[in-house]
Amino acid sequence: MKPLIIVIIIFAIFAVIAFLIKQFVIGVARKSPYVEVDSLLTPAELNFFNVLKTVMPDELCIMCKVRLADLIKVNRNLPRSDSQSAFNRIQSKHVDFVICRTDDMSIYCVIELDDRSHNQPARQKRDAFVDDALQGAGIQIIHLPVRRSYNIADLQQRLADVNDEAKSANLAKSDTAEELPKGNKICSQCGAMMVLRTAQKGASAGNQFWGCSNYPKCRNIENY
């Protein structure tokens, strides 16, 4: 075999190898940087979720890993800088479980499953903020410790207590609400009349705020 033919064959082999390497590199580069998580819930959360399903009445349903910013929103009347700051504090946080009413998907309550990480100072500070933010928006939150097994009757009672507390809160609001003359204050969300209410719980207890008279269908609140 002539030397020239040998050189051509060797060159062709290297060209093919280079082409294959290039295709492999391009394929790796095009591969998504993301991979699927094994499960939406941790083993402890999944265990609790399966128990929670057994006590959930038909009129309620369970949502998992919900972003805090999907449960509450920033008051429109805040200055722009304060509004952005308030949103930044909720956009990256989420809660474990949200119990919703099946008829209109309104929020019934939030459940946080607390493991040992909730004993850390940073986590406790985060929990305090989330609790205050939810309660300030009129959403009840239940904290339950992680367990290997759960008392069914206790879970049923805790859910029933949420309903009783909601009824009591509505009565308290009715007692402290000051109905306004027509046209004095209109809800920017649904157009219903606003009423002047007094916060009963949380860091804002005793402070007055405007609440929509169409609550709980409309949960809009505005600064007084």
pLDDT tens for the chain, 224 residues long, are 566 677 677 777 877 787 777 777 666 556 778 888 999 999 999 999 999 999 998 899 999 999 999 999 998 888 888 888 899 999 999 999 999 999 999 999 999 999 888 889 989 999 999 999 998 898 999 999 999 999 999 998 888 888 776 655 554 444 444 443 434 577 777 767 777 777 776 666 777 888 887 776 677 888 77
**Any bridge partners for residue 222, and if so which?**
210
**Any bridge partners for residue 114, and if so which?**
145
Scanning 56-202, the segments in alpha helix (DSSP H) are 80-91, 121-136, 152-176
> 79-102 pLDDT, tens per residue?
888 888 899 999 999 999 999 999
Mean residue pLDDT of the chain comes to: 81
Q: How far apart are CA 85 and CA 80, in angstroms?
A: 9
From the list 60, 71, 57, the residue with the least C-alpha distance to 131 is 71
Provide the pLDDT for residue 224. 73
Provide the pLDDT for residue 35. 86
Q: How far apart are CA 188 and CA 173, in angstroms?
A: 20
Q: How far apart are CA 185 and CA 192, in angstroms?
A: 9
pTM of this structure: 0.62
Q: How far apart are CA 30 and CA 23, in angstroms?
A: 11
Q: Which two tokens stand for residue 148?
A: 């290997």
Q: Which residues make Cβ contacts (< 8 Å) with residue 188, sequence separation at least 6?
A: 76, 220, 222
> 15-41 pLDDT, tens per residue?
778 777 777 766 655 677 888 899 999
Q: Which domains does the chain have, with CATH numbers?
A: 43-175 (3.40.1350), 177-224 (no CATH)
Pair type for strands 221-223 and 107-114: unpaired
Q: Which residues make Cβ contacts (< 8 Å) with residue 46, sequence separation at least 6?
A: 39
